[in-house]
Amino acid sequence: MTVQLASVTPHPLVSARSIPAAELLNVSKSFFSRGNTSEVLRDLSLNVAAGEFLAIVGPSGSGKSTVLNLLAGLDQSYSGTVRCNGKPVVGVNTEIGYLTQHDSLLPWRTVEENIAVPLEIRAVPKRSRADQVRDMIASVGLRGFEHHYPRQLSGGMRKRVMLARTLIYGPSTLLMDEPFGPLDAQLKLVLQEELLRLWSALRKTVVFVTHDIVEAITLADRVVVLSSRPTRVKLEEVITIGRPRSVHDARFAPSFEDHYHRLWGAIEIDSRRQIQ
């Protein structure tokens, strides 16, 4: 099922009475540098249902990370409306967890100490903090590595620590900006499978930015394609592959090839223009 969007269109998971977990309504955004203006988003509308796994794809520079920064409350210079759970995003949005591809672990802290940082900031009592960290370490498959430092971990383990640290304070929505981008293909598949397992168990709302169409189809309930600048929603693709979903098996689902061709068709022209 493919829907061309001229304006915001609620996903089927968003009923007439429900409040989107995240929403951009008629948002425009420009960057200003040395007297020049660069328009990034133009009248962009997008909503995400509670518990939905939404993937965002598009050519480089199309504003994918900008959308996440607006939802996170890290950028207030825009026109339009940005809401989280029905409330305007004003300042840093404490209802979300933000995971990027950049390694942000503290090198002087062990695995358990890194994961505990958000709980320390919230002044969670020490005993409760230790219990929560222990449970989270088990959830992401890091038992036995509690006292290791980041330099002693593989790239995949470091990603698990970052994910655990993002999840531990219970954000309602996860923003993920190409979190597996720098990893090798095999490790990426393993972490995709882990992410699907955690998402199935926790049912967090996820907004996942990626350049990889295969990754988007494999993980998401719905994939939104952004155009080149000034960015608009160019295409919405509801993924019909059933759940629970295996990363391996998803690629052999009958509808996978159709999803891929429609998404690539929407991205191809803008992507080719960038290399001409």
At 13 the pLDDT is: 52
Q: In this structure, what is the dihedral angle of CA atoms 106, 110, 115, 120, given to the nearest 10 degrees? A: -80
Q: In this structure, what is the dihedral angle of CA atoms 154, 157, 158, 161, given to the nearest 10 degrees? A: -160
Taking each helix axis as running N to C, give the angle between helix 155-167 and helix 126-139, from 0 to 180 degrees, rounded to the nearest 10: 130
187 Cβ contact partners less than 8 Å away, ≥ 6 residues apart = 154, 155, 156, 180
Residue 206 near residue 221, CB atoms below 8 Å = no
155-168 in b/e form (b: 16+ CB < 10 A) is ebbbbbbbbbbbbb
At 276 the pLDDT is: 55
Note every long-range contact of 108-113, with CB atoms under 8 Å and residues 24 or more positions apart, other chains counting.
108/149, 109/149, 109/150, 110/146, 110/147, 110/148, 110/149, 111/137, 111/142, 111/145, 111/146, 111/147, 111/148, 111/149, 111/153, 111/161, 112/137, 112/146, 112/147
Domain ranges (residues) in the chain: 2-95+172-274, 103-170
Please give the average pLDDT of every successive group of 10 residues along the chain, which has 276 residues. 38 60 96 86 95 95 94 95 95 92 94 96 93 95 96 94 95 95 88 94 95 96 95 95 94 96 90 61
This prediction's pTM? 0.91
Say which CATH topology domain 2-95+172-274 has.
Answer: Rossmann fold (3.40.50)
At 10 the pLDDT is: 44
Instruction: Enter the tokens of residue 142.
Output: 């890091």
205: three-class secondary structure by DSSP: strand
